[in-house]
Amino acid sequence: MSSQNFYSDLKRKIVLAEMAGYSDGSFCIKNGAGSGLVMLGTYIIDSSEKIPYPDGFYFSPDKKLYYKNLERNICIVKNAKIKAGVSAVSIDIKDTISFLKTAQDLGADYLSYCAHSVMKMFLEKDTSSALCLKKNHEKLKRVLHDLKDNLELPLIIKLGIFDNEYVMDAIKIINDCGFNLFHINFERTKNDSPGLELLGKVKNERIFIIAGGGIKNTGDVLRVLDKGADAVSIATAAIKYPDLIKSIKNELENKKPERQQ
């Protein structure tokens, strides 16, 4: 299937990336104006009481303790007429699935599994970014199978291209398991950067890539799109400049006639 024909609502759009500690509903509508999609979270769902995460981004697996918070944040975004995505991760994939199923029931437009965290709690349990390690590829397949069997909305798999040396292999495994929507952090996307070079190597017609990594202006967006990304994500720069995404969107729209000539 050509990437031209799926996830068309995100094609050449800007995504406000999930940023734990920031990405609640209020932040997303303020700093994500002009986005094709804003991501709530990443939420951690685990039973530990020692997770080094801000209040509002860590939840017990008990649905009663997170339902209202999640419902409120999704409603804030949806009421602003912006597409809402929800990102989550936990040590136990069952807790992640339960949380994402709740987000699905509450009206989210997209879901995301974070396979990008390098927090010690995940690395010690061989989950999140550790799933990309060669030794955990069979576990990765089981996690993907569980996600596919339990969720109905489009699911984004978030990865960091430099998290470990086996990420490229993991991307192929994920795609072979039936997932073709990726959010990949390439870290640096300047001209001649390792990240931008790898974007060109990762891209193929079977997958849709939301690419992020140091994107701060319209020139950065166009460079990443021209290299093969289907959409771009902005994170840190949107904290410093709340109107950034809206400004870039307007500039891209003004450039369209010129680029089509």
Q: What is the pLDDT of residues 127-168, one digit of tens each?
A: 999 999 999 999 999 999 999 999 999 999 999 999 999 999
Q: What is residue 260's predicted lDDT score, i.e. its pLDDT?
A: 42
Q: pTM for the whole thing?
A: 0.94
- pLDDT exceeding 70 applies to what percent of the chain? 96
Q: What is residue 258's predicted lDDT score, i.e. its pLDDT?
A: 47
At 192, the pLDDT band (50, 70, 90 cuts) reads confident
214: left (phi over 0), alpha (psi -120 to 50) or beta: left
Q: pLDDT tens digits for 198-209?
A: 999 998 889 999
Q: Please tell me the distance from the alpha carbon of residue 202 to that of residue 168, in angstroms, as a whole number.
A: 7
At 1, the pLDDT band (50, 70, 90 cuts) reads very low
Q: What is residue 5's predicted lDDT score, i.e. its pLDDT?
A: 58
Residue 63 has pLDDT above 60, yes or no: yes
For the domain bounded by 3-260, which CATH number is listed?
3.20.20.70
158: helix, strand or coil? strand
Compute the Cα dihedral for 42, 46, 51, 55 and give only its sign: positive
61-85: b (≥16 Cβ within 10 Å) or e: beeeebeebbeebbebbbebebbbb
User: Which positions ≥6 away from 90 have C-beta within 8 Å?
Assistant: 44, 45, 46, 61, 96, 99, 127
Backbone angles phi, psi at 14, to 5 degrees: -105, 135
Q: What is residue 77's predicted lDDT score, i.e. its pLDDT?
A: 98
Residue 102: name the closest of 61, 143, 47, 145 by CA. 61
User: Which positions ≥6 away from 50 have C-beta within 8 Å?
Assistant: none
Q: What is residue 259's predicted lDDT score, i.e. its pLDDT?
A: 44
- Of 261 and 64, more confident: 64
Q: What is residue 90's predicted lDDT score, i.e. its pLDDT?
A: 96
User: Which positions ≥6 away from 105 have C-beta within 8 Å?
Assistant: none
Residue 3 has pLDDT above 60, yes or no: no
Retrieve residue 28's tokens. Answer: 């997303």
pLDDT, mean over the chain? 93
Number of DSSP helices (H) and strands (E) in the chain, helices first: 10, 9
- Of 149 and 256, more confident: 149
Residue 179 has pLDDT above 90, yes or no: yes
Residue 2 has pLDDT above 80, yes or no: no
Q: pLDDT tens digits for 93-129?
A: 999 999 999 999 999 999 999 999 999 999 999 999 9
- pLDDT exceeding 90 applies to what percent of the chain? 86
